Amino acid sequence: MLASPGFFVLMVAVAICRGLRCSNMNTEDELVDGGSEYGSVWPLPQNVRISTVSFKLAGSAFQVVDSKDSTAGSSCSLLQNAYRRYYEYVFGNARNPADARRVTALGAPGLAELQVWITSPDPECDGYPRAASDESYELSVNQTYALLKAPKVWGALRGLETFSQLVYEDEHGAKTINATEISDFPRFAHRGVLLDSSRHFLPIKVILANLEAMAMNKFNVFHWHIVDDPSFPYFSRTFPQLSQQGAYHPYTHVYTPADVKMVIEFARLRGIRVVPEFDTPGHTQSWGKGQKDLLTPCYSGSSPSGTFGPVNPILNTTYDFMSQFFKEISTVFPDEYVHLGGDEVDFNCWRSNPDIQKFMDQQGFGGDYSMLESFYIQKLLDIVATTQKGYVIWQEVFDNGVKLKPDTLIHVWKGNQQQYQEEMAKVTSSGYQTLLSTPWYLNRISYGQDWRGIYKADPQHFNGTEAQKKLVIGGEACLWGEYVDATNLTPRLWPRASAVAERLWSAKDVTDLDDAYRRLSIHRCRMVERGIPAEPLFTSYCPREYRGI
């Protein structure tokens, strides 16, 4: 146990029931921190007890330190960076001596430090977060000190966020935290946000700000849909002409190798994986501007029309290019996975091209152009497999019967609720792991509190066995960029994506919309205070309104 038995005598049992770990709630005790019995923590931890017994924190005296038993000491730059970051979140940039005087004047017990104890022999300080990373942690707050215990640094990062959310200001303006016990871990291993930097170029500072917001909501995957039809902003060292010809501007609207490295490291320090998507054979118009003969010439009757369709799947040069390109990608992006797309391939251009028609006859494909797509995708998957990367593909690749490795990750995005639930059942019954995004396309907006519908969607709500449900490893909130750029991306994404975050982190039975509203309202103000222009849920105000303009 993290705290002494005497601590639990002090505890007013305010708990989430989780089987045998359920405590009785004293209904006469006032609720803490904003009206929710669970404080304002978002996403809600798996097991949490928050007491009405409170302690004060003085910024001039409080410190975050390594536990003497921790396997990650002062040499763990990831944690030292996080300690500074979360100290500033709680107390601001300066240690204010007035804080200590205020606490002394109130005569309240004070909390002097948070000890962080990494228990595993390998804390993974210098590594990158992985699909199987351990993000569990335990957090105990009592009068003597607070203790954050985690097997790996990734869990410590999540616990530091939770600790920062437990701190609030009392009626005198003093930083306060209640006696608390938390045991927490994510429900799903993959909790992602997709941003699209092709339809509109996203400045690096916007991407970094949203990585910060992702960490505040315990997301752990940045799905970077970096290129598409409109533009190719990724600067390739192997094929620099791709961005020179395919970006909106070859200098101002390009992600240099230094930019990409910065994003990956910024994300790593927050326990976030960066999974790039290079979608082919469709969505590739920008690729063709800088790579000759990559795209299929379309025909009007017996003559070329001057337009181009998907990647040309019948040329050996296509696969030579893809082999070199994805070899580079495998060295630039350290994650175990790359997203290969494979969605929305328009067959009309292939159908019009006489060379494609001849190839179809030779291969015995008849008029089934999904077989040609499968031919291309299979060759691409084989190429990527040689780079030792796993791959994620959109559901069409699975639907079209492409031969896939058993560990392929299928990303479901199409259809209404019934259709995507049927797709999830179909994919998992075939033994594949899957991600859900269909109900979480946040570029679709409506008037009112649409976060409620987002919150209700559950990736395991489909007809299937328990074994099938276990193949669902999470989901992603997607913000496509047709109508989104630096001016409106962040308020459109937050706090709506926060609803997805809780669904993917918290226990399955955390579904109380009224409690979620109370906590999310406070969490939205917390994001605003930290510089994230998250839009309001409804009529309300924040004690510290957004000052970014």
Catalytic positions are 344
Compute the distance between CA of residue 262 and CA of residue 264 in angstroms, rounded to an integer. 5
3-state SS, residue 543:
coil
DSSP 63: E
Q: Which residues contact 421 (CB under 8 A, 6 or more apart)?
A: 461, 462, 463
Please list the residues that pair with 49 across neighbouring strands: 15, 181
- The residue among 325, 373, 323, 329 whose CA lies nearest residue 347 is 373
Cα dihedral sign for 123, 127, 129, 131?
negative
CA end-to-end span of the chain: 47
Nearest to 408 by CA among 437, 377, 438, 375: 377
CA-to-CA dists, residue 346 to 96, 198, 227, 303, 529, angstroms: 62, 19, 18, 19, 46
Q: Check: CB of residue 67 under 8 Å from CB of residue 116.
A: yes
Angle between helices 513-529 and 204-216 (to 10 degrees): 140
* Distance of alpha carbon 323 from alpha carbon 385, whole angstroms: 10
DSSP per residue over 455-506, as a string? HH--TT-SS--HHHHHTEEEEEEEE-STT--TTTHHHHHTTHHHHHHHHHHS
